[in-house]
Chain A
């Protein structure tokens, strides 16, 4: 065994560059894989920990009643172990700085209790009627701190409230993805809303972890037991958990997919390298056997040559991957108000180490076993394995095309060893596919974001205070010559058959086709009684495009026909979209709350915002339409970019490795060619031609695969947000890019060929031929 180790270490010293290639590729693959494993093992944990620690509510229900007495029996009715509330609540509009925002504000006298504990992260619970507690997520997003004052603008008195506490509430999503709650003392809430806007909010916690169906059944039981229209809306913990986890879930899916790619590419490179070592070491292997190495010793020497650098790569890569996943875990822990603790799992690290070594050993085992079976007398005589003739047809073709001889020779070399060719193309393929996905997905995200934010279709958004009538807002807008069109909107809760929770509906007045929402199937609504919905809602309500169904709005039946499927991730696909005329007959006093305005071409948006805000500074919140990407999407884009860079590097290492092996194996041929008159430049052209051909083949095969994988991942991501992918977001690559991708691959490969090319060009003819 000692002899095996001594020989393996000596060979490693001799093949330092090859060991470096194994180390680098294994390091990148192991770090990515460890990151994926760490995230995967931790994705659900932080939420579940926080949910348990803060006794999160499995179900929250809003009741439009004036007397809370009938609500007292609801916990027993649905078998809840603990209940919170009823809390008198209202949707209250706050103003701070130039912003105005609505928050569901509840009257609650303490943050503790047996359910939905609010963890104070800053300040203390409100002690008088002029104090308010906010979520930390909201405070951080809007740069509000304890002690700052907010003005309530939804009531004419416009009272000022001082922020007394920042809390973490496990029963709502983060502020960048969800609307937020606020809390005042129960004695303070009545003064913050008109009597008609007040309602009661209750929270329920069950003994186990109820399923979605069980929670829907519970809501249905409550609805059946109370007068019609009493249940205004409900939220269950599964939806909130999904909102919390969606970023990590997407990142984890992407990381798992691409770390598998990285490991595959590394395995290809390792197999290629060991095959190369065997091919170039025939004489060495023969001598080893001749002096007493057994076949298994020979295999062990070769395996150790890849396992040692891989082991070192694991020692560096596993901590790196674990460290790399920490910011994402910290982000998720921070959102949940958990104290972030670096997460290390020794078992997971051991699994990553064993996995990496096993994959590499497996990749190296076939050539290592082949080496063990070689007959000593034959290999000593041959010195190296005979070169294949696979490149002959290609060389002949290149000659027929009158390509320069160095190019033809290089092309022939590229295919001379079929296994090496395939393994190299595999590494290139993986690199190109990843880069395509890293290019494509962010573009699809941007297209989706543009649809969600109405980018290009809406320049200004206005939120109206209830104190200002809709007609006044429209008068102000119509008085502005720069107003091109206005689409007004109001949210509404509807009861949709088959769905326990009240469904949030977005009702539009004006031509909502102009807002640029992406329609997946069917068409946008165009008249009263028509609606569109995302896939999640369609699935929950068992609807398909063309179906007729009846919803209940404030206890009144409204017949609808689903004319299209829309893409909308804002509520994880659980929102219904319809026209104003659909609900006008059942809600004659229904008024829009939000106005989306497109300005005439060339209009000054800032000046428009100033002018409209000046018309009603207290009652209108006027802002430029914010079309920037939300934080989680930015994180996903960055992670994708980093992974693509890693795998592209592995792909380049694959090409480099193959050229290195080729040029070293062909050193005698190169010396001969130089002796018969091949110039250094021609030698470089020959090496570059081999690289170029492999890259071109890899790039061309990767093109359709990249497009398909892009579609697959986009579908996966859309699906996890409750949507089908809009067909228009698939076409992220321009025709010229589909041509440019293999061309750039070719150029990168040729650049990677520079170093081995230069080595080949500098071949010392005398030394090489003398050594023979």
Chain B
């Protein structure tokens, strides 16, 4: 497998920050991997995801995604990069409230100048929300809104799907459904980088769990092989399996 994401010695210090949000993080994500980044609030996991999405720039170190060094891109280049290569799923969905579900899904394609109605309807169908295509976000449940957000993230067939606490604003059942969906997408070959503070979710679906603490990677476990599996992760996974 070839690397899709390469973070090398990435540091991020916010203005006024005494310690960094990220302190010398180096991570590589292969194509087709389902990787979860796990850690408590303020550990730096979302900052790491933002670096990969090109939403933020590191104070030092390099971020290379799909062979592109993001440091070489200006704001327009980064926007084009996100549009072409990345799909982003947020905790609070962030659907545009004045657009219907279908219109929301189409936005990234339309920003590229593409007409993607057929693919949008196919995604609606695939994600089980075909019948809400013409509804506005305010009339959708949280789970439906997150599915619409996932469809929007997938409309341009990105090589990398980033999900920042995608179940954080959902009830347990909806959260499970969303995670199942992400797992299915992974099985179909989609590279996914998931940020969560929920160890259960991370260990149940992701093949690899990177634990971050105080801006540093403290653990990197490939769960499929059991290699370097930290006891805490494995304990949670076995508890889950026993249920």
Contact = CB atoms under 8 A, between A and B. Distances in A.
A679 B98 contact: no
A459 B204 CA distance: 99
Interface in A751-768: 761, 765-766
A555 to B, nearest CB: 85
A705 B111 CA distance: 39
A764 to B, nearest CB: 9
Given A387-B97, A675-B82, A676-B111, A681 B76 contact: yes
Interface residues of A, number: 33
A769 B91 CA distance: 10
A602 interface: no
B113 to A, nearest CB: 7
Nearest to B94: A672
Contact of B107 (A391, A673, A679, A681): A673
B19 interface: no
B138 A675 contact: no
Contact of A675 (B76, B88, B97, B103): B88
B166 to A, nearest CB: 14
A292 to B, nearest CB: 30
Given A673-B96, A677-B111, A765 B79 contact: no
Nearest to A671: B94
B88 A389 contact: no
A389 B136 contact: yes
Nearest to A384: B97
Contact of A676 (B46, B75, B108): B108
By size class, the interface of chain B is 20 to 34
B113 A675 contact: no
B68 interface: no
B82 A676 contact: yes
B6 to A, nearest CB: 21
Contacts of B97: 386-387, 669
B152 interface: yes
Given A672-B94, A675-B88, A677-B83, A766 B75 contact: no
A679 B83 CA distance: 9
Interface string B87-105: 0101010111111000100
Given A676-B82, A677-B111, A766 B55 contact: yes
A102 to B, nearest CB: 76
Contacts of B138: 386
Interface string B151-189: 011001000000000000000000000000000000000
A388, A413, A676, A680 — most chain B CB neighbours (10 Å): A676
A675 B80 contact: no
Given A676-B88, A678-B111, A416 B98 contact: yes
A406 B94 CA distance: 18
Contacts of A395: 99, 103
Contacts of A672: 90, 94-96
Interface in B89-137: 90, 92, 94-99, 103, 107-108, 110-113, 136
Contact of B55 (A391, A405, A668, A765): A765
A389 B98 CA distance: 6
A589 interface: no
Given A765-B55, A772-B92, A674 B79 contact: yes
A388 B138 CA distance: 11
Nearest to A674: B79
A241 B141 CA distance: 77
B53 interface: yes
A386 B103 CA distance: 18
Contacts of A413: 98
Nearest to A682: B111
A404 interface: yes
Given A387-B97, A387-B98, A680 B75 contact: yes
A544 interface: no
A761 B78 CA distance: 13
A679 B79 contact: yes
A404 to B, nearest CB: 7
Contacts of A678: 79, 83, 111
A412 interface: yes
Given A680-B79, A765-B55, A766-B55, A405 B94 contact: no
Nearest to A396: B103
A18 to B, nearest CB: 23
Nearest to A388: B98
A391 B98 contact: yes
DSSP majority for the A interface?
Answer: helix
B136 A677 contact: no
B115 to A, nearest CB: 9
Contacts of B88: 675-676
Contacts of B240: none
A223 interface: no
Nearest to B55: A765
Interface string B59-86: 0000000000000000110011011100
Given A676-B82, A682-B79, A406 B111 contact: yes
A380 B36 CA distance: 33
A745 to B, nearest CB: 26
Contacts of B90: 672, 675, 769
A679 B75 contact: yes
A398 to B, nearest CB: 11
A677 B112 contact: yes
A367 to B, nearest CB: 21
A675 B107 contact: no
B26 interface: no
B98 A412 contact: yes
A392 interface: yes
Interface in B8-55: 46, 50, 53, 55
Contact of B98 (A392, A677, A761): A392
Contacts of A680: 75-76, 79
A766 B56 contact: yes
Interface string B181-209: 00000000000000000000000000000
Contacts of B113: 404
A772 B90 CA distance: 11
Nearest to A675: B88
A211 to B, nearest CB: 66
Interface in A604-640: none
A678 B110 CA distance: 10
Contact of A679 (B46, B76, B94, B95): B76
A514 B12 CA distance: 85
Contacts of A391: 98
A391 B88 CA distance: 26
B41 to A, nearest CB: 12
Contacts of A765: 50, 55
Contacts of B84: 677
Interface of B: 46, 50, 53, 55-56, 75-76, 79-80, 82-84, 88, 90, 92, 94-99, 103, 107-108, 110-113, 136, 138, 152-153, 156
9 contacts: A388-B98, A404-B113, A672-B90, A672-B95, A675-B90, A676-B107, A676-B153, A680-B75, A770-B46
In order of increasing CB-CB distance, the 3 nearest A-B pairs are: A677-B83, A405-B110, A679-B79
Given A673-B96, A677-B111, A765-B50, 13 more contacts: A386-B97, A391-B98, A405-B107, A672-B95, A673-B111, A675-B82, A676-B83, A676-B111, A678-B83, A678-B111, A679-B80, A680-B79, A766-B56
